[in-house]
Structure 1
Amino acid sequence: MWVINNKDSRGYYQAGYYKPDGTFYIHDAYPTVDEAELKVAFLNGGVYSEDAVTHLQEIAMHLENISIKGQVH
Structure 2
Amino acid sequence: MELHADRTRCIGAGMCALTAPEVFDQDEEDGLVVVLEPHPPEDTHPAARLAVSTCPAAALTLRESTRPTA
TM > 0.5 between the two? no
Please state which structure has a larger fraction of its residues in helix: 1
Please state which structure has a larger fraction of its residues in strand: 1
How high is the TM-score relative to the length of structure 2?
A: 0.28
